[in-house]
Amino acid sequence: MINKIIVAVAGASGSIYAKILLDKLVKLQNQFDELSIVFSKNAKDIWKHEIGNVDFNKYPFSYYENNDFSAPVASGSSKYNTMIICPCSMGTLARIANGTSDDLISRSADVILKERKKLILVTRESPLSIIHINNMKTIILAGGVICPANPSFYSKPANINELTSTVVDKILNLTDFKFDSYSWDGYSD
């Protein structure tokens, strides 16, 4: 069982990925003990612009401000075992890759990596520079997972939510959740 999860939302376009991820996690609450959410300031602004509301803090999980270094997610003693940053901006990626823990998101990611737990960065940028690629390499070498927000089309998605769900389902599969999702040979759990 996945015990304690951090979902962070950084200031990159793609708030719909975060929304669908959080919506699905609400339905999977029986598969984890605790979930904590952290939004960057830019992520809040982008959510409001892209989603059209400020409901990001209405989910039934613990919510921490990005400048709250006293939050439990900032310490390895809190025993979080999974962190998902969705979407992950290149600035957030760079801060994590270079050990610059100047906000709660980058500090929490630093803790997850040093404790050898699962860190998944859902990157959102195109095209990529060599700096982005080298930062991704650093994260991978440190034990993190780069899961670009690249939707798939095997399931023949009919709308933007279904298309976005192809990425979110990949994230949930990487974290070992049990749920119905599309696979090459059809739907499976």
Instruction: Kindly state the tokens that stand for 7.
Output: 């979902």
Q: What is the pLDDT of residue 75?
A: 95
Structural domains of the chain, count: 1
For residues 136-154, one letter each, b for 16 or more C-beta atoms within 10 angstroms of the residue's C-beta and e for the rest, the string is: bebbeebebebbbbebeee
**pLDDT at position 182 over 80:** no
pLDDT above 80 for 178? yes
34-58 pLDDT per residue, tens = 999 999 999 999 999 999 999 998 9
How many percent of the chain have pLDDT more than 90? 89
H or E element: which one contains 51? Answer: helix 41-51
Q: Of 21, 26, 127, give the one whose Cα is nearest residue 84.
A: 21
CB 120 within 8 A of CB 175: yes
pLDDT tens-place string over residues 65-82 = 999 999 999 999 999 999
Q: Which domain holds residue 117?
A: 4-188
Look at the block and give the residue holding tokens 């040093």.
114
User: Helix axis angle, 15-27 relative to 160-174, nearest 10°?
Assistant: 60
pLDDT at 184: 61
Residue 187 has pLDDT above 60, yes or no: no
Which band of pLDDT confidence, cut at 50, 70 and 90, is reported for residue 181? confident
More confident residue, 135 or 2: 135
Please say whether the beta carbons of 2 and 79 come within 8 A. no
Average pLDDT for 4-17: 97
The CATH number assigned to the domain holding 166 equals: 3.40.50.1950
- pLDDT value, residue 2: 59
